[in-house]
Structure 1
C-alpha cells in the first residue's frame, strides 16, 4: 500500500509539473513583475465566468468587486510598454493577438472586418519625442500587413494616433519641423527648432494626401510686436498662442515640442476633427469640411472660419480667457460618443501636479461658438476620480453596453465603474496601457475574428 501511495504521489506531481510548464510556455513572463510568483494569478473575488484553467494565457490579475454589475465584454488592449495589441476577456485571458512588425506608436484600433489600423514607429524614427511614429499599417486578423504608409523624415513624422474616416480615408497627426529661425520669425520666445502639430488625410488606395491642416498657419503671440502675428491673445480665441507652453515652462525645451497633441477623433455627423493637445490641456475642434487651401486661412468651410479653431475647451488659461473653469491638467483620448449620446464626450484628465486623474463626461453645446471673455466650457454631465486613480501619461475611457465606464489607467491597467461611481472590476498587469477599447461579444469586429 505504501508503494502504491508513493506511485500515486509521483504521478500527481508529474502531471502538476507538466501543467505548470505549459502555462509558462503559453503566457507572458510574469516573473519580471514578481519574481516569487510561481503560479498564474487567480482572480480575486467572485466572478460570473469560470476562472481560467492552468495552462491558459492570463495577462494579469483581476478583481470582481461586484460581479453582478460587471459588463461581460471583451477588451482590445494597446500595451505600449510591451508593444502588444491583443483582445482579452474579463478574466484577463488572451483571446487574440496581432503580431506587429514595428513598435507601437501608440494606437491600434479594431475595424469592423477584424483588421486593425495601427500607428507604428518607422524603422528609424527621425523625430524622437514620446509617442513617435512614422508609419501607418492596416493588418489582417492573420497578421498580414495589407497596407503600409511611411511618413517619416527629419521634416515631418506621424505620431500617436490615426482614425479611419467613413469615406475610407485615414487622418493622422503629424509633427512638422520648424527651424529656430522660423520660430523666431513666428514670435516664439525661444529660438530653437520647434515641432508644432499638423493633420494629414491619406487616401489608402493611392497613398495621396488629399487634405491637410497646419497649426503653424493659425498662431498668435503677444511677445514680439514686430511680427505679423502679434496681437491680443484674449481677443482671438480662434488662434493658438505660440508662447503658451514656453511661458509656463512646463515642457522639455530641448525637444521643441510646444503642443504635444496625443489623440484625434472624428465627428462624422458634423464633419469635425477633435484634437487632444496635451501641453495646452485642451481639445481643439477643427472644420474638416474646408478645402486644403481654405484650411490655410481664416475663412471658408461650413463654419466660415477656415482652419482657425471653431471651438476649444478644457483650459481657458491657454488663450488668456478669464471666464470659464479649467478642468484639464494634461489630457488624453477625447472619445466622441455616438447614437443617442451624440454630442457627448468622454475624456481622461491626467491630473499632473495633483497626482490624481479624473474622467469627465461632457455635453458639447449644440452650437459650437468660441467667444472672447466668455465661458466657452462644455457642461460636465458626470465625472469619476479616486485617490488611487492616477496616470501622468496615456489613458482614456469608453462606455459599456450596461452603462458602466471602462477606464484605462496607463500605469496600472483597467477599472470598470458604474454611473453611481462604484468600482465593480479591476485589472492590473505589467504593461503600460495606451488605451482599452470595449467590444460586445456579438459585435461584428469580434465575430469577424471568430471569437
Structure 2
C-alpha cells in the first residue's frame, strides 16, 4: 500500500529580551517620562563624523568629512535642513597658528552632505577657531585668531615681559557670506585691536585709566595658556537678532562680552560680566566665572513664554572648591534697556549687573560634572538641563529638581590622534573621548518635518541597550508550510525594527543545536518539537516552537497544517498547504461535544478564528480538506 503522510504543526511563541544594567558607554540612563526627548547631536574630537542620535544612542543621520579632516568643533542644523559644518586638517604640524580649538574651514551643506559654499582661513595672519553662529540671512559669524607681531604689541601698550618672539594673537569676528561663485567672503569685521586700553606705558597707544574705560579691553590682562601667544582664546559666539548684539566667551579673562553688531553703537563693547578685575573693578571675591564655555542666549531653544526666555546660559568650567576644582552651570539676566541700548552698571562699584547668577546647578558628586576645558550647557523647553562635560565625553540631562533622567557617554577612544568606537563595557578615561559640545534638537524641530528617521546601530560596538531603550518588537510568525515527499518545509517570517544578528534551530527532543540551520526556513523529515531562536543587532531575542507530527494516513494526498499561537488567548491562526482546497474546521471539548465549526469554501491558505467565547482548557481541532484530515490539540489560556 502506498504510504502517505499526515503533517500537523503546533506553534508556540516564546519572547525574551536581554539588556545590561551596567553600560559604560552610549546611553546609560534614559527616563522617557521625565526627559525632554528629541535628537542629540555630537561632533567628537579626533575623528571625522558628526552624529545625530535618538535618545537611545541609535544613529539616525551622519555628516561625513574626509579621513584627513578633523572637527573644528561644531556643526549646526538649520531649519531648512541644511547644515553649517566646520573642519580642519588632521595634520597641524606645519600650521603657523595652532592651539586647542583651532579650525580652518566652514561649509554649508545639504542634509545629504552635498557642499553648497565654503570659506577657509588658516595661514600666518589668521585662523578660524572654536565656534560659529549661523544668521537668519544665510551668513555666518565666525571667530578668528589674528596674528600681531611683537612690535605691534609693544606699540599698542603691551608689557614686553609678557611677549614671546611670536608676538600675540588678537581676535576678529567676521561675518561670512557666499559670493556669486559660492565662495565665502568677509562682509563685516569687528577687531579686538580697535578697542584696547592700557595703563602700562604712557608713551604708547591706547594709554588711559583702565577703570574709567570699562567698554575697552586691557591689553595687559588675561591668563597665559599653553600657546603663549593665545591671548583671548574666544571659545563661543552667539547672536541676538532683537538687539543686534553678539555674545562672546573670553575664558582667559573669565568674562562674557556683548558687542553691538548693528544697533546704535555699532562695534562697541556693551557689556561684560564674570570678572570685573579685567577692567580694574572689584577683586577676586567678585569673580564669578572660571574659563567658561558655551555662553549663549537661551532664547533660540525656548518658547517666548518660557520662564528662561531672554536669559544667558553658561558652563562654568573651573570653580575652586575647598579641596578640588569642579564645574557648574548657570543662568543669568543682563539688565538691558532696549530703548537706550545700554546695560545697567552698579553705581557704587562701577561693575556691570547682575550682581550674581540667576540660577546655579552643580552635581552633589563633583566628579560627575567636571571639565576644565570644552563643554556645554543647554536649557531644554521643559526646564531640564542638558550638560556636557566634554573632557570625559559625558552628557547628562537633569530635571530642575536635580534628578538624572538621561546619561550618555561618547563611545570613542582616541589613540594616536584617531578616535574609534569601543565595545560596550569599555571604561574610558578623561581626554580619551573629547566632545566639544552636545546639543539637543526637539523632535518637532522644523528641519525634521518630512524626514523619516530610521534608527541605525549605535556608535559603540556590541551594543547592549538599557531596558527603556530596548524596543523589542521582534516577532516571529509562520509564513507558509509545504509538503514534499516525506518532509515538512517550514518558512518563518521575522518582523522587527532591526536587522537580525543570529538564527538558531534546536531539536528539543535532545536539546541539540541543529548544524547548518541558520536561516528562517527549515526542512525536517522527523517528528518532534523544534525551537527557532532569533536575535537582532540590539540584543532582542524571540523564539518559536514548531511541533511537527508526521504520520502515515490512508489518503490519496498529504495535508499540511499549521496552528499558532498555541496556547492561545482566543485568536487562532490556521495555515494550510496550497493544495488543501476547502476546509471544514471542527473543535471539540474534552467531553466530545462540538463547540465550534467553520466551513470555509474556497478557503485561502491562512485562516483566522476568534475562540474568545470558549472557556479555558484543552480542545481537539479537526481540519478536513479534500487532501486529508488533520487532528491536533489546542489549549486556551485567557
Could you state the TM-score of these two structures normalised by the residue count of structure 2?
A: 0.57
- C-alpha deviation, 1:67, in angstroms: 4.8
Structure 2 residue 178 is matched with structure 1 residue 204: yes
Measured in 1, the distance between the counterparts of 2:215 and 2:450 equals 43
Call closer, same or farther: CA 1:94–1:42 in 2, change over 3 Å: farther
Call closer, same or farther: CA 1:392–1:208 in 2, change over 3 Å: same
* Match of residue 337, structure 1, among 298, 302, 315: 298
Q: Which residue of 1 aligns with 2:259?
A: 286
Native 8 Å contact 2:168 2:230 kept in 1: yes
Structure 2 residue 35 is matched with structure 1 residue 70: yes
Native 8 Å contact 2:384 2:400 kept in 1: yes
Native 8 Å contact 2:336 2:343 kept in 1: no
Call closer, same or farther: CA 1:100–1:243 in 2, change over 3 Å: same
Call closer, same or farther: CA 1:41–1:284 in 2, change over 3 Å: farther
Measured in 2, the distance between the counterparts of 1:95 and 1:59 equals 18
Structure 2 residue 185 is matched with structure 1 residue 232: no
Structure 2 stretches of 5 or more lacking a match?
1-17, 413-432, 454-638
Native 8 Å contact 2:96 2:124 kept in 1: yes
Measured in 1, the distance between the counterparts of 2:448 and 2:292 equals 29
The Cα offsets for residues 85-121 of structure 1, whole Å up to 9 and x where unpaired, read as 1111221111111102321111111111222211221
SS at match of 1:196: strand
Measured in 2, the distance between the counterparts of 1:187 and 1:41 equals 63
Counterparts of 1:236-315 in structure 2 under 5 Å? 236-245=213-222, 248=223, 250-252=224-226, 254-289=227-262, 301-302=263-264, 304=265, 306-315=266-275
- C-alpha deviation, 1:132, in angstroms: 0.9
Call closer, same or farther: CA 1:255–1:41 in 2, change over 3 Å: farther
SS at match of 2:47: coil
Call closer, same or farther: CA 1:395–1:449 in 2, change over 3 Å: farther
Native 8 Å contact 1:106 1:119 kept in 2: yes
Q: Which residue of 2 aligns with 1:414?
A: 395
Structure 2 residue 147 is matched with structure 1 residue 166: no
Q: Which moved more, 1:159-168 or 1:347-356?
A: 347-356
Measured in 2, the distance between the counterparts of 1:449 and 1:144 equals 17
C-alpha RMSD over aligned residues: 2.4
Q: Which residue of 2 aligns with 1:89?
A: 54
Native 8 Å contact 1:44 1:63 kept in 2: no
Measured in 1, the distance between the counterparts of 2:40 and 2:255 equals 27
Native 8 Å contact 2:319 2:328 kept in 1: no
* Match of residue 374, structure 1, among 350, 354, 359: 350
- C-alpha deviation, 1:236, in angstroms: 1.0
Native 8 Å contact 2:163 2:229 kept in 1: no
The Cα offsets for residues 250-290 of structure 1, whole Å up to 9 and x where unpaired, read as 423x530110001100001110000111111111111101x
Structure 2 residue 370 is matched with structure 1 residue 397: no
Native 8 Å contact 1:122 1:135 kept in 2: no
Structure 2 residue 280 is matched with structure 1 residue 320: yes
SS at match of 1:357: strand
Q: Which residue of 2 aligns with 1:13?
A: none
Higher relative contact order (CA 8 A, sep 6+): 2
Native 8 Å contact 2:36 2:384 kept in 1: yes
SS at match of 1:255: coil
Native 8 Å contact 1:335 1:398 kept in 2: no
- C-alpha deviation, 1:84, in angstroms: 2.8
Structure 1 stretches of 5 or more lacking a match?
1-39, 46-57, 290-300
Q: Which moved more, 1:389-398 or 1:143-152?
A: 143-152
Q: Which moved more, 1:316-325 or 1:185-194?
A: 316-325
Structure 2 residue 105 is matched with structure 1 residue 119: no
- C-alpha deviation, 1:449, in angstroms: 4.4
Q: Which has the higher helix share?
A: 1
Call closer, same or farther: CA 1:41–1:228 in 2, change over 3 Å: farther
Could you state the TM-score of these two structures normalised by the residue count of structure 1?
A: 0.79
Counterparts of 1:15-164 in structure 2 under 5 Å? 42=20, 60-64=26-30, 66-101=31-66, 102-122=69-89, 125-164=95-134
Measured in 1, the distance between the counterparts of 2:83 and 2:25 equals 21
- C-alpha deviation, 1:44, in angstroms: 5.5
Native 8 Å contact 1:347 1:359 kept in 2: yes
Measured in 2, the distance between the counterparts of 1:393 and 1:448 equals 38
Call closer, same or farther: CA 1:72–1:157 in 2, change over 3 Å: same
SS at match of 1:445: helix
SS at match of 1:106: strand
Counterparts of 1:337-356 in structure 2 under 5 Å? 337-338=298-299, 339-340=304-305, 341-351=308-318, 354-356=324-326
Counterparts of 1:422-433 in structure 2 under 5 Å? 422-429=403-410, 430=412, 431-433=433-435
The Cα offsets for residues 319-338 of structure 1, whole Å up to 9 and x where unpaired, read as 12117832110111112122
Measured in 1, the distance between the counterparts of 2:99 and 2:208 equals 30
The number of aligned residues is 382
Native 8 Å contact 2:103 2:129 kept in 1: yes
- C-alpha deviation, 1:396, in angstroms: 0.9
Measured in 2, the distance between the counterparts of 1:174 and 1:267 equals 20
Call closer, same or farther: CA 1:394–1:93 in 2, change over 3 Å: same
SS at match of 1:266: strand
Q: Which moved more, 1:341-350 or 1:368-377?
A: 368-377
Q: Which has the higher strand share?
A: 2
- C-alpha deviation, 1:393, in angstroms: 0.9
SS at match of 1:244: coil
- C-alpha deviation, 1:445, in angstroms: 2.2
